[in-house]
Structure 1
């Protein structure tokens, strides 16, 4: 990533019950950045965290991983779209271009992206990287880096 790093923050979550507070802190740290990318091993909790972020934004729909559909669209409490992408199954960036990802990324709506390394060249410069590390039991460490 050649973007200019603006700021970083580390958050620790000992139990899943702390996720609502963590999600609020992530949204606050993101500030006006609407594209959030999530990195972590399979099972680190990327989808679980994205579900909580959606809940904090007031999404009332059932929130599920878009592993097979690539993107799910939800509506927040104000009627704005929230997009959840999972690029785990795509073979190349062309597949992402074909579904119009750049239009989503520059829409001004929240875009939560799992497996962003599959489409790295398509990502906007302004984004928040959320790197999730698994600890003992339910413990998770969230390393946040804002880029512009």
Structure 2
């Protein structure tokens, strides 16, 4: 499934992803500055959270909750990892088996640790304001 969109259309794109995703584990493949974190912010809002969404570049993981306080999901940024061992050391397996939404930026840094049922989201930069999103399993 493919979408061409601009930032103002992210709410609708988030709705489409939630409706069509075959998994709660989402892997975001895109170059730096393509809007991965901005899209995740829209997804977290669409799923029912008012949490402040930011890239967990230095902390590696952020946790988001529903308004009720129940866990909504975890947001990972693997950009700074040197190897897959670092992801294992932080307890990635426990996060993946939590049953909540998982948002992964830079999943290509941990290829052998990705679950089989993952939903891949590829974002391509068309121009300064336009993106192409491809949803694949």
TM over 0.5: yes
Compute the displacement of 1:29 (Å). 0.8
TM-score between the two structures when normalised by the length of structure 1: 0.88
| Residue matched to 1:11 | 3
- The separation in 2 between residues aligned to 1:24 and 1:105, in whole angstroms, is 23
The residue aligned with 1:5 is: none
Q: TM-score, normalised by structure 2?
A: 0.95
SS of 2:110's equivalent in the other structure is: helix
RMSD: 1.1
Question: For 1:140, what is the secondary structure of its paired residue?
Answer: strand
The Cα of 1:81 is off from its aligned counterpart by: 2.9
* 1:44 and 2:34 correspond: yes
In the TM superposition, what is the alpha-carbon distance from 1:119 to its structure 2 partner? 0.7
Q: Which runs of 5+ in 1 are unaligned?
A: 1-8
Is residue 86–residue 114 contact of structure 1 (8 Å, CA) maintained in 2? yes
Alignment of 1:82 onto 2:89: no
Aligned-residue offset at 1:17: 0.9
Matched, 1:54 2:54: no
**C-alpha distance in 2, partners of 1:121/1:103?**
16
Aligned pairs, number = 136
Structure 2: tracts of 5 or more residues without a match: none
Q: How far is 1:135 from its partner? A: 1.1
Spell out the pairing of 1:60-99 with structure 2 (5 A cutoff): 60-77=50-67, 79-99=70-90
Contact 1:105–1:123 (CA under 8 A) maintained in structure 2: no
Q: Secondary structure at the match of 1:41?
A: coil
How far does residue 76 in structure 1 lie from its aligned partner after superposition? Answer: 2.2
Counterpart contact for 2:63–2:71, Cα < 8 Å = no
